[in-house]
Structure 1
Amino acid sequence: MLSLDAVTAVLSPKQIKSIVGSFDVPQIALWSGAVSSGKTIASLLAFLFAVAKAPDTGLIVVVGRTLQTIERNLIDPLQSASLFGPLAAQVHHTTGSTTATILGRTVHLVGASDKLAEGRIRGATVALAYVDEATLVPYSFWMMLLSRLRVPGAKLLATTNPDGPAHWLRREFILRGAAVGLHTWSFTLDDNPSLTAEYVERLKTQYTGLWYRRFIEGGWVLAEGAVYDAWDPSVHVVAELPRIDSWIATGVDYGTTNPFHAGVLGLGADGCLYLTHEYRYDSKIGRRQLTDHEYSERLRGWLASAMVPGTDLTGIAPRYTVVDPSAASFRIQLHQDGVRSVLGDNEVLPGIRTVASLLATRRLKVHKSCTELIDEFPGYSWDPKKAERGEDAPIKVADHGMDMLRYATHTTRATWQTRLMRARLETAA
């Protein structure tokens, strides 16, 4: 038998209230609010209690964007003894498996990254569901999941960061809470008693503009204005480069009728990322389209002749060549020419958040020679028409450098995050 007193000693009153309150919601319990505000821990504790008393008939499912995000955001915390004490020992999972055993019950882990995911639960009978980051789940999947809650007393527990005010979750469920059997608990950073003042301040500096209003203040606000409102040429454009300790990536946004834009990302000895060189070809200006072979030849020649900062040497060989996911034929050509490439991560909003955070914390700078990229920053804006329909998307005009930068930084973040932090600590010492 689970004891509420044993596992809530370090929780805030709002977290405890949400856990206890979730026992009595008609069908949907939603934890919404800022990042690191304590909503996930509270919701996971509520989920453990729900698992303990869930009906024997019907499946228990945990839903996230992908299996990997479920493992990282949910399973790993549930297995942490520092967070859940002795309950953590009752959470068993093999990495990569689509099931886990929690409190003796089999729990199915379901990735829901697109509308096809609804087929994974079609026909199922669900007694209990937990959805991580509900605004990122396709609407069709959410509706299918609700239709599967066919066991008496079946419930859905979910968390989310705020999105736009026209998002379907807010419009059709949060604003109609009583009518659809939903109760929402909203959290801010002040609701998490485990955060230090230094950590809270650091979080606040990492977000700017839209992301600050949503992920720090917890507001359901419209995407409007400049995408990178922290961009400041006097801060982010540099005339001189430090020693580059690691050439991380060549980013490529491929184009035939549209411009082809490439850039080099390096990690400086001062602990910052630098976009050091750029190459751009616009067929409208050049008056002819280039073939994949010509692009490959020019790209390789450009890298071979690029000056190494602070030296008289030429030739740069980044660890990764990150290419626009739509450029399949160009990747084949690169492979034939002896260049291994990787697909650019094309999740636009997470990529934009990565770049925005780097700019806000002054950890990403651009050399003054990259004039095409620099020129794109001020005009890179949110599409107001799409925002009114509940979709966050930049205007697709003059954005080839922006896409290239996003591919280079966001796709390689596992490579530079730890090294960037280490370099900054060494520089500070």
Structure 2
Amino acid sequence: MRFFDRCFDSWLNVAEGGKRGGKNVLITMAFCAKLETHPSRIHLIAGVSTATARLNILDCDGFGMLNFFEGRCRAGQYQNRDCLYVRTPVGEKIVLISGGGKSGDEKLIKGNTYGMAYITEANECTPEFIKESFDRTLSSPKRTIYHDLNPKAEGHWYYKDVLEHHEEAQKRNPNYGYNYGHFTIADNMSIGDDQLRRALSTYDKTSLWYDRDIRGLRRAAEGLIYDMFRQDANTYDVPPIDLVDRSTRTIACDYGTTNPCVFLDIYDDGETIRVEREYRWDSRKEHRQKTDAEYADDMVEFMGSNYCTIIVDPSAASFILELQSRGFYVVPAENNVIDGIRNTSKLFVRRCIQINKNQCTALIDELGVYAWDRKAADRGEEKPVKEKDHAPDALRYYVNSLPDWRINVQT
């Protein structure tokens, strides 16, 4: 409530912290309340993509702008840009909707002066977009900017290039107008104690993800990526007798020509994901590259007569076409690396991923060495080292295909 109250007297408002801390709901309420009487006509909401802006601000778990202004807002376009028209006591407002995560997105918001700007997941947007949004509000009669964000590494550009300057200005001048709030899931009053305990139990409390998602701390990604993987808890010797009958089968593929090509044979009964077998062709070790047709032949042999969906590395366009030409049902994988790693880690902690230790030795070996890139971490970036990552990538492709409720089933 203190943060919310300060939103009406501060020009820059930043809400940072862990997952489900209520940041979006809080800032959306402040943005909407201030929009009711703001003298400017044109305003901006944005995210890493327009879809993110719509989800986090317009919808916002049912507490977004569409709910706040229900009956007095309509979707439309302004200057060929998507927007929301809102009727207020002081006239109609135009709220433009933009993405800011791609190079060149800053051009989308040029040409207008915005009274207010709300950017969700601000540290996922490009530096150029953030700078342009600051510039575009300079002449507003009641300049107000809102940012919400989940923590990144301490050296991330957003902290150095944006927050540090305003933090120092606020220290020098208590009336500067910088309002910062830190939030965790424990601040979300819609979550009861029992539900909170269940949510916390899905995390390894020594992990990067617990520090970030739950404690809301800025942490660099370093060391082993899957340090929560335990051979004594995440592997098995003998598959269940009814493995095939009770499970949905999927084959996940990380495609490679000079790099290894990996297939994982995955059985999922809705509770436990079992990686039963693996295929691996390493052209460097075998001293011969295979063609797409040869890999497709290998897929036919690997799959056998029990046909199933194949999830394939989205960059392997020619291999996907080859498989489709043979009648296979192929789904290009969702390649969100960081979210995929986070979700795979949570499933390892809950022991919901089990790997056949006798049939999947390469996958187990790579999980034991798959690491964060330290040089990237020093730059405030998060990237895995691009080696020994082929089987973990295939596993991540499968996890990325799961619905959210499978990842957060205990919450």
Q: TM-score, normalised by structure 1?
A: 0.84
Kept in 1, the 8 Å contact 2:66–2:73? The answer is no
**Whole-Å separation in 1 of the counterparts to 2:82 and 2:43:** 12
Q: Report whether the alignment pairs 1:177 with 2:175.
A: no
Identity level (%): 28
For 1:13, the equivalent position in structure 2 comes to none
- d(CA) in 2 for partners of 1:39, 1:409: 27
Displacement, 1:127?
1.3
Q: Does the 8 Å contact 1:79/1:91 carry over to 2?
A: no
Secondary structure of the equivalent of 1:151?
coil
Aligned with 2:220 (options 215, 219, 222): 222
Task: Quickly say closer, same or farther: Cα 1:338–1:74, change in 2 above 3 A.
Answer: same
Answer whether contact 1:33 1:219 (CA < 8 A) is retained: yes
| CA distance, structure 2, for counterparts of residue 88 and residue 187 of structure 1 | 26
Q: Is 1:116 equivalent to 2:104 in the alignment?
A: yes
How many Å apart are 1:91 and its aligned residue? 6.8
Instruction: Report how many residues are paired.
Output: 390
Q: Which residue of 1 aligns with 2:136?
A: 148
In 1, the alpha carbon distance for the partners of 2:229 and 2:336 equals: 21
Residue type of the partner of 1:228? Answer: Y
Residues 91 and 100 of structure 1 are in contact (CA less than 8 Å); yes or no, is this contact kept in structure 2? no
Structure 2 equivalent of residue 274 of structure 1 = 274
Superposed CA deviations along residues 114-146 of structure 1, whole A, max 9, x for unmatched, are 122212112222111111111111111111111
Offset, 1:154 = 2.0
Counting helix residues as a fraction of each chain, which structure ranks higher? Answer: 1
Residue 206 (structure 1) aligns with: 202
> Which residue does 2:375 correspond to in 1?
385
> Is contact 1:264–1:318 with CA below 8 Å preserved after alignment?
no
Residue equivalent to 1:63: 46
Pair 1:363 & 2:358 matched: no
Match of 2:70 among 81, 86, 89: 89
**Partner secondary structure for residue 216 of structure 2:** coil
- For residue 88 of structure 1, report the CA deviation from its aligned partner: 5.5
Greater displacement, 204-213 / 380-389:
204-213
Distance 1:317 1:324 in 2: 19
The alpha-carbon deviation at position 248 of structure 1 amounts to 4.9
- Match in the other structure for 2:9: 24
What's the secondary structure of 2:217's corresponding residue?
coil
Q: State the distance in 2 between where 1:143 and 1:18 align.
A: 24
| 1:85–1:406 CA distance, 2 compared to 1 (3 A) | closer
Q: Distance in 1 between matches of 2:49 and 2:239?
A: 39
Distance in 1 between residues matched to 2:147 and 2:111, nearest whole Å:
21
Counterpart of 1:167 in structure 2 is: 156
Contact 2:59–2:65 at 8 Å: present in 1 too?
no
Q: TM-score, normalised by structure 2?
A: 0.87
The 8 Å contact of residues 76 and 84 in structure 2, kept in 1 or not, is answered as no
The 1-side partners of 2:150 and 2:71 are apart by: 28
Change (3 A) 1:84 1:145: closer
Per the TM alignment, residue 329 of structure 1 is displaced from its structure 2 partner at its CA by 1.5
2-structure distance, mates of 1:164, 1:318: 40
What secondary structure does 1:184 align onto?
A: strand
SS, match of residue 119 in structure 1: helix
Maintained 8 Å contact 1:90/1:103: no
Deviation at 1:360, TM superposition (A): 1.6
**Distance in 1 (alpha carbons) for counterparts of 2:338 and 2:72:** 32
1:66-77 matched pairs, under 5 angstroms = 66-77=49-60
State the match for 2:340 in structure 1.
351
CA distance in 1, matches of 2:356, 2:408: 18
| Closer, same or farther: CA 156–249 of 1 in aligned 2, 3 Å | farther
Equivalence for 2:265: 264
Q: In structure 2, do the counterparts of structure 1 residues 111 and 252 end up closer, same or farther at CA, with 3 Å as the change threshold?
A: same
For 2:395 and 2:227, locate their aligned partners in 1 and report how far apart those are by CA, in whole Å: 16
CA contact (8 A) 1:30 1:158 kept: yes
CA-based RMSD: 2.7
Structure 1 unaligned spans of 5+:
1-15, 305-314, 425-429
Aligned to 2:23: 39
CA distance in 1, matches of 2:249, 2:44: 39
Q: Conserved in 1, the CA contact under 8 Å of 2:344 and 2:396?
A: yes
Tell me the secondary structure at the aligned position of residue 180 of structure 2. Answer: strand
SS in structure 2 opposite 1:322?
strand
Contact kept, 8 Å, 1:44 with 1:78, in 2: the verdict is no
Taking the aligned partners of 2:368 and 2:123, their CA distance within structure 1 comes to 29
Matched residues in 2 for 1:408 and 1:99: separation?
A: 36
The CA distance in 1 between the partners of 2:109 and 2:65, in whole Å, is 29
Residues 31-56 of structure 1: CA deviation (Å, up to 9, x unaligned): 01111122222111111112112223
SS in 1 for 2:104: helix
Q: Does structure 1 retain, via aligned residues, the 8 Å contact 2:121–2:150?
A: yes
Go from structure 1 to structure 2 and tell me whether the alpha carbon gap of 1:73 and 1:316 turns closer, same or farther (over 3 Å shift). Answer: farther
